[in-house]
Homo-oligomer: A and B are copies of this chain.
């Protein structure tokens, strides 16, 4: 089977947040869905290398902020392109705190949030599948939810708008252009921190 067939699946986009002691953290996920109606049950799958994964494995409590079509690329850069092990993703960042004590995003970037408590976890190799009950939540705006497809079409910067004008290497993750050749093997994108292997030659 061609790898690209997996791209035919549709997803929403979310900021998953956790709190362990005084430490807030969060990451981007696209796998949050409802999986049962009675009782109201949700699931999400998180890569085990993710710091938020380890925090929720420990605390069992989380919030999901639903990203809307007015979400800015900055949200993806902040929560998706760096690790909470290296930086405080909540530094200089305005958010609210739900009744469960965990942060959530109430801004033009989001249209709803959910609080949840993990009921069980399933080890799937690269990822853990979390199954959880919804304990709280609120409608924040009428703006439609962003899908994964919408993100690629409208939110993620278009790196190839004028590819002929610049020479060098382009970061396929965020569109940053390194104007030189060769690209150093240990180069790290200054915008999204992805490695040289995520660049391609213009």
Write the residues of chain A forming the contact surface with B, with a CB cutoff of 8 angstroms. Answer: 1-2, 4-6, 8-13, 31-41, 43, 45, 66, 111-112, 114, 120, 122, 124-127, 129, 131, 134, 136-139, 144-147, 149
Contact = CB atoms under 8 A, between A and B. Distances in A.
Contacts of A43: 35, 43, 45, 129
Max chain B C-beta neighbours (<10 A), residue from A2, A129, A146: A129
A35 to B, nearest CB: 4
The list of the 6 closest CB pairs from A to B, nearest first, reads A10-B12, A36-B124, A35-B45, A8-B112, A36-B127, A38-B126
Contact of A131 (B37, B122, B149): B122
Given A9-B66, A35-B124, A37-B127, A134 B45 contact: no
Contacts of A1: 114, 134, 136-138
B149 A5 contact: no
A16 to B, nearest CB: 13
Max chain B C-beta neighbours (<10 A), residue from A39, A122, A136, A146: A122
Contacts of A111: 8
Max chain B C-beta neighbours (<10 A), residue from A5, A39, A125, A136: A5
Contacts of A32: 9
Contacts of A8: 12, 66, 111-112, 139, 145
Contacts of A37: 126-127
Contacts of A144: 149
Contact of A33 (B33, B41, B126, B138): B33
A62 to B, nearest CB: 15
Given A5-B114, A10-B145, A38-B125, 13 more contacts: A5-B137, A8-B12, A8-B112, A10-B12, A31-B34, A35-B43, A37-B127, A39-B125, A43-B43, A43-B45, A43-B129, A122-B122, A147-B149
